[in-house]
Amino acid sequence: MARFVDVHPQDPQPRRIAQVVEMLRDDALVAYPTDSGYALGTRLDNPQGTERIKRIRQLDDKHHFTLVCADFGQLGQLVQLSNAAFRAVKAATPGPYTFILPATREVPRRLAHPKKRTVGVRIPDHPVVRALLRELGEPLLSSTLLLPDHPEPLTDGWQIKEELDHAVDVVIDAGDCGTEPTTVVDWSEGAPEVTRVGAGDPDRFA
């Protein structure tokens, strides 16, 4: 059964965040809130966690996972950024954007797109996930918590626990965090292309 952890949405309790991080370090799979809905997250070097996310969401090998970062310094270790991309991404983060960029060697090969060697990265603007990332000290491998038979992502912590009680290890509940996904900007070809319009303003990349 999944552990249910209730945290304050604006001022998450450090002890509860530390408990979740301890479980993540033991290869737990966590359902957690972001600024664009709930997501599934696990450590980058946990291949079993990656496969569990694929099973839950019924994903194939072409799926772009997202590496969720605490800050721009962390993000810069994972992807290659041109000067233009550097300035634009830095100006838009933290916020509800996902950027598709060429992966560096720091990213395990199994997490990058098999042909393009690209990966999605983002820096969310939500107090709970930011506290989680600071305590963990490394990025989270993440995917939106959108189940195959649901038209929209799940937003209620107790509903997530009921649906995924035996599929995840921890559910963090911090209240409603909305369902609008991130705006996705593909920068892998050297210029920005908005491939999905979501919560982030796409005009800044027009």
Which pLDDT tens digit goes with each residue over 126-135?
999 999 999 9
Backbone angles phi, psi at 183, to 5 degrees: -80, 130
Which pLDDT tens digit goes with each residue over 71-91?
999 999 999 999 999 999 999
Binned at pLDDT 50, 70 and 90, residue 11 comes out as: very high
The one-character DSSP state at 2 is P
Burial class (CB in 10 A: 0-12, 13-18, 19+), 9: middle
C-alpha distances in Å from residue 146, one per residue of 36, 156, 172, 181: 12, 13, 16, 10
Backbone angles phi, psi at 73, to 5 degrees: -60, -40
The closest of 185, 201, 190 to 64, measured between CA atoms, is 185
Binned at pLDDT 50, 70 and 90, residue 150 comes out as: confident
The closest of 113, 150, 114 to 38, measured between CA atoms, is 150
In whole angstroms, give the CA distance from residue 96 to residue 88. Answer: 14
H-helix segments, 36-179: 47-57, 72-76, 83-92, 127-136, 157-164
Judge whether residue 23 has pLDDT over 90. Answer: yes
Superfamily of domain covering 3-205: DHBP synthase (3.90.870.10)
